[in-house]
């Protein structure tokens, strides 16, 4: 995402007309929810096979709530059959098994079946619990899929382990090579909190060893592809296909991490966005209609970039090219509150930081002024006249990393927008913390205790 920290377009029109704004009755999912306030979204969705839901930043309570309610609406009213989110694909089989009635403790599923700290929040558990309860009586269960690279982007080990577990059944005694496992473990981090150490370990590797890790991970995927007929005959196609996708995403992580260690940020962005899109397409080969939940920068039909890298085609752009009108996007904007802390004290347990009001002239400022302090949506495709001009004049959208903003043309990137006037930290799930590494448990516990002490 191309970002700037300066106010963007002070001359932009102040607000959309009231007729353009669709207030949401609630973010909570009621047992007898009529979804009357969401019927406008059905027109946005149409017959699309994918509806992508963006978010301003990770781990906010309101974003979790909105996703759960929108998923319930899309499943009940429009026959969506899967939920795919920005978490590791290789690990997500555990969460999928649980929402289909699996017996594993839910806290363990949250800790090990979701990556990048995504599972450590009470609203995320509520989301999984809704899927499980729905599936218990559903003729067609709703599947859960991760779409991201494994190991929270800091370790090849979980991805290789997923393939190893498959090979134990498909080809006993012929698992992932010990040298590759050892090499992956030598540069692995236990969690995102020790990502700098993992990157330093990759950077210290001699070029030949780094290339060997990348080639080794790619070789695992190629071995599966070569042995497809034999393996499918032993395990069935579904298990094989999942193992192959896990291997391919692990190989992508190896390429991405090697590029990061070498300072090639363009390759880092390219590899990840390509892998995200490829996994969504993999899910679409197995599911009729899919809800995809990820950051605005991934889902929008707009290039993403980071400082020091050229803009890269986002996952959303790639999916739009492949799917055309079968891909629809709902972007998110935010007003005040707290978002993920990107400061150095995050690792010490300051997980969230206060947000300044939206920058004048930004898309977030336009939506904040238009929605009257209440969660609300806008069908971008139907804006006309002054409303369309106001949207076109809005420059920049919160990037979710401090006070940074990303350049975006909202009418191109999104089919609809949902504004959340206030973001708050999601509640930490104490049960899930029991299953995570100490380097995660300690700062999360500090944050949880600090929140309790201020109430």
Q: What is the pLDDT of residue 9?
A: 46
Interacting residues of 217 by C-beta distance below 8 A, sequence separation 6+: 156, 159, 160, 180, 184, 247, 250, 251, 253, 254
Residues 129, 130, 135: CA angle, nearest 5 degrees:
100
Q: Residue range 153-163: average pLDDT? A: 98
185-194 residue pLDDT tens: 999 999 999 9
Show the tokens assigned to 27: 């973010």
62-104 residue pLDDT tens: 999 999 999 999 999 999 999 999 999 999 999 999 999 999 9
- The pTM (predicted TM-score) of the whole model is 0.96
Q: Name the β-bridge partners of 304.
A: 312
SS3 22: strand
pLDDT higher than threshold 80 for residue 10: no
88-99 residue pLDDT tens: 999 999 999 999
128-148 residue pLDDT tens: 999 999 999 999 999 999 999
Handedness of CA 193, 194, 200, 202 (dihedral sign): negative
d(CA 381, CA 166): 45
Residues 145, 150, 153: CA angle, nearest 5 degrees:
130
d(CA 315, CA 328): 13
Q: How many CA atoms lie within 13 A of 55 on its CB side?
A: 23
Q: Residue range 275-285: average pLDDT? A: 99
204-260 residue pLDDT tens: 999 999 999 999 999 999 999 999 999 999 999 999 999 999 999 999 999 999 999
Show the tokens assigned to 307: 């400082």
Whether 221 contacts 248, CB under 8 Å: yes
281-327 residue pLDDT tens: 999 999 999 999 999 999 999 999 788 889 999 999 999 999 999 99
d(CA 420, CA 67): 12
Q: Print burial letters for 260-279: b (CB count within 10 Å at least 16), e (below 16).
A: bbeeebebbbbbbbbbbbbb
Whether 3 contacts 44, CB under 8 Å: no
Q: Residue range 5-13: average pLDDT? A: 45
373-406 residue pLDDT tens: 999 999 999 999 999 999 999 989 999 888 899 9
Residue with tokens 């509806």: 51
Nearest to 424 by CA among 341, 344, 352, 347: 352
Element spanning 51, H or E: strand 50-53
Show the tokens assigned to 415: 């089919």
Interacting residues of 244 by C-beta distance below 8 A, sequence separation 6+: 221, 224, 225, 228
Q: In the chain, what are the domain boundaries?
A: 151-287
Q: Print burial letters for 143-180: b (CB count within 10 Å at least 16), e (below 16).
A: bbbbbbbbbbbbbbbbbbbbbebbbeebbeeebbeeeb
Element spanning 336, H or E: strand 327-340
Q: Say what percent of the chain tops pLDDT 70.
A: 96
Nearest to 198 by CA among 161, 263, 154, 157: 154
Q: What is the pLDDT of residue 403?
A: 86
Q: Kindly report the average pLDDT of the chain as a whole number.
A: 95
Nearest to 293 by CA among 329, 254, 336, 246: 329
SS3 351: coil
Q: What is the pLDDT of residue 4?
A: 39
């Amino acid at each position: 995402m191309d970002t700037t920290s300066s106010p963007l377009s002070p001359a932009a029109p102040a607000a959309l007309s009231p007729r353009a704004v669709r207030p949401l009755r609630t973010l909570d999912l009621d047992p007898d929810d009529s979804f009357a306030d969401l019927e406008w979204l059905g027109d946005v969705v149409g017959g699309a096979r994918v509806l992508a839901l963006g978010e301003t930043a990770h781990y906010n309570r309101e974003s979790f709530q909105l996703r759960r309610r929108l998923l319930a609406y899309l499943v009940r009213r429009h026959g969506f059959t899967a939920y795919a989110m920005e978490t590791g694909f290789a690990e997500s089989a555990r969460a999928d098994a649980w929402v289909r009635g699996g017996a594993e403790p839910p806290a363990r599923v949250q800790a090990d079946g979701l990556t990048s700290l995504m599972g450590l929040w009470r609203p995320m558990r509520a989301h999984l619990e809704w899927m499980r309860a729905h599936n218990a009586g559903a003729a067609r269960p709703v599947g859960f899929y991760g779409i991201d690279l494994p190991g929270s982007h800091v370790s090849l080990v979980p991805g290789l382990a997923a393939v190893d577990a498959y090979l134990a059944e498909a080809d006993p005694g012929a698992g992932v090579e010990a040298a590759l496992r050892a090499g992956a473990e030598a540069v692995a981090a236990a969690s995102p909190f020790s990502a700098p150490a993992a990157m330093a370990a990759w950077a210290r590797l001699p070029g030949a060893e780094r290339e060997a890790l990348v080639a080794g991970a790619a070789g695992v995927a190629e071995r599966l592809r070569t042995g497809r007929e034999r393996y499918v005959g032993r395990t069935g196609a579904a298990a094989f296909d999942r193992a192959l996708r896990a291997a391919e995403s692990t190989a992508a992580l190896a390429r991405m991490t090697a590029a990061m260690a070498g300072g090639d940020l363009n390759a880092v962005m390219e590899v990840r966005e390509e892998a995200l899109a490829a996994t969504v397409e993999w899910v679409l080969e197995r599911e009729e209609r899919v809800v995809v939940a990820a950051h605005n920068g991934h889902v929008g039909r707009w290039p993403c970039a980071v400082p020091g890298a050229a803009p890269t085609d986002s996952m959303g752009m790639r999916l739009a090219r492949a799917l055309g009108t079968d891909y629809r996007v709902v972007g998110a904007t935010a007003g005040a509150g707290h978002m993920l802390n990107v400061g150095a004290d995050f690792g010490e347990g300051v997980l969230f930081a206060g947000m300044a009001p939206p920058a004048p002239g930004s898309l977030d400022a336009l939506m904040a002024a238009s929605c009257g302090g209440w969660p609300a949506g806008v069908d971008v495709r139907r804006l006309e006249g002054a409303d369309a001009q106001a949207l076109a004049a809005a420059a920049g959208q919160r990037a979710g990393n401090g006070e940074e903003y990303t350049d975006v043309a909202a009418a191109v990137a999104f089919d609809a927008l949902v504004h959340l006037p206030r973001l708050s930290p999601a509640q930490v799930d104490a049960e899930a913390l029991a299953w995570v590494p100490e380097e995660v448990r300690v700062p999360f516990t500090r944050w949880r205790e600090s929140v309790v002490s201020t109430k």
